[in-house]
Amino acid sequence: MLSDLTARLGEIRTDWNLDEVEALFALPFNDLLFHAQRVHRQYFDPNSVQVSTLLSIKTGACPEDCAYCPQSVRFDTAVETERLMEVEDVLEQARLAKAAGATRFCMGAAYRSPKAKQLATIEEMVRGVADLGLETCATLGMLNDEQAKSLKDAGLDYYNHNLDTSERYYEEIITTRTYQDRLDTLQAVRNAAIKVCCGGIIGMGENPTDRAAMLHTLATLTEHPESVPINLLVQVEGTPLYGSDPLDPLDFVRNIAVARLVMPASHVRLSAGRTQMSDETQALCFLAGANSIFYGEKLLTTANPEANRDRRLFDRLGINAEPPPGEAQTA
């Protein structure tokens, strides 16, 4: 019954069933947002948002065929291939990100899976970024247990690896690796005691059940991911998904709210796609429980809102950037 379901909201559960997640999606918008905001306040300061900065440390020429991605070698996009950056250049970008207020620095590489030599260089980057006092995050494709352990030893705090969509819809989007490959990487990351950052993309032509199913899979992992990025598809010319029907912004907000409800203590990141959103849609996302963003003018290869626009938005909403872990809130 719906009243039984809503009475349990706020509990950290990993035993959700798909019907329950779909019932949350079906709530009237105001009820859904009310519950999401109520639960958000049980676990978080409602006026505080975690700020991460993203850097593409190796760009393009990726062998995978993810239909949304401008970096796949199989699609003709405007992305210029760049080899793995020098460690010192990455650290310079990390210093700038820290000076601009980021507390987490996320390094992304267009790999199917990193090779030993690449991993060794990336571990130097991780050590250097951690020494700057930033939290470290990387997204490098598939990892096995050994690779995850060695990243942990280098000081990696978070690993981002997304499910991207539901298991059912997955084969329409990626054929070069399986859903189970993704779950195996997430397990390797967990085994190494690295925090998990895992979410997906909406607006790729999936149906409402697919959206519920993706959140259901995330919320029934043995442990919820600490960070859950919800990306709105950034449509890039040359990718197979370019020209997909645009998503109703209120459906995006619903997705954030349900993510908040099924994983109450996780950071939910309003991730890619913010340049296409009005400030009002973003404000609704924060009300629905989003409490993390990427800050800085670029995501990996596509645009993100200008830093000024984000500062103005935070000011208009009275939102503070979350202090780094271990430091007290200032305002």
Q: Which is nearer to ligand SF4, 69 or 156 (CB)?
A: 69
Q: Are 232 and 247 in contact (CB under 8 A)?
A: yes
Beta-bridge partner residues of 95: none
The one-letter amino acid at 242? Y
Q: What is the CA radius of gyration of the chain?
A: 19
DSSP 151-204: HHHHT--EEE---BS-HHHHHHH--SS-HHHHHHHHHHHHHTTPEEE--EEE-S
Q: Which of 157, 164, 206, 210 binds ligand SAM (CB under 6 A)?
A: 164
The span of 18-26, 119-127, 228-236, 242-250 binding ligand SAM (CB under 6 A) equals 228-236
72 makes contact, choosing from ligand DTB, ligand SAM, ligand SF4, none, with CB < 5 to 8 Å by partner type, with ligand SF4
**Active-site annotation holds for 198:** no
**Active-site annotation holds for 106:** yes
Tell me the closest approach of the beta carbon of residue 271 to ligand DTB, in angstroms: 4
Q: Are 59 and 331 in contact (CB under 8 A)?
A: no
The span of 37-45, 114-122, 247-255, 299-307 binding ligand DTB (CB under 6 A) equals 299-307
For residues 208 and 204, give the distance between their C-alpha atoms in angstroms, rounded to a whole number.
11
Footprint (CB under 6 A) of ligand SF4, residues 142-201: none
State the catalytic residue, choosing from 177, 182, 197, 198. Answer: 197
Q: Are 59 and 71 in contact (CB under 8 A)?
A: yes
Q: Note whether 199 binds ligand DTB by CB under 6 A.
A: yes
Q: Note whether 319 binds ligand SF4 by CB under 6 A.
A: no
Q: Note whether 75 binds ligand SAM by CB under 6 A.
A: no
Q: Which is nearer to ligand SAM, 294 or 314 (CB)?
A: 294
292 token code pair: 């993390």
Nearest to 97 by CA among 125, 78, 121: 125
182 token code pair: 């993704």
Q: Which of 301, 305, 321, 322 binds ligand DTB (CB under 6 A)?
A: 301
What track of x and - describes contact with ligand SF4 for positions 60 through 89 (by CB under 6 A)? --x-x-x--x-xx-----------------
Q: Are 279 and 250 in contact (CB under 8 A)?
A: no
Q: Are 66 and 164 in contact (CB under 8 A)?
A: yes
What is the phi/psi pair of residue 54, to 5°?
A: -110, 140
Q: Which is nearer to ligand SF4, 16 or 169 (CB)?
A: 169
State the catalytic residue, choosing from 104, 106, 182, 285. Answer: 106
Q: Note whether 266 binds ligand DTB by CB under 6 A.
A: no
**Active-site annotation holds for 285:** no
Size of the site for ligand DTB (CB under 6 A): 16
Q: Which is nearer to ligand SF4, 64 or 310 (CB)?
A: 64
Q: Are 284 and 307 in contact (CB under 8 A)?
A: no
The one-letter amino acid at 313? L
**Active-site annotation holds for 62:** yes
Size of the site for ligand SAM (CB under 6 A): 18
Tell me the closest approach of the beta carbon of residue 164 to ligand SF4, in angstroms: 8
Q: Are 281 and 313 in contact (CB under 8 A)?
A: no
* Chain position carrying tokens 């040359």: 238
* Chain position carrying tokens 């009300």: 287
Q: Note whether 235 binds ligand SF4 by CB under 6 A.
A: no
Q: Which is nearer to ligand SAM, 61 or 130 (CB)?
A: 61
Q: Note whether 218 binds ligand SAM by CB under 6 A.
A: no
Q: Which residues bind ligand SF4 (CB under 6 A)?
A: 62, 64, 66, 69, 71-72, 110, 112, 141
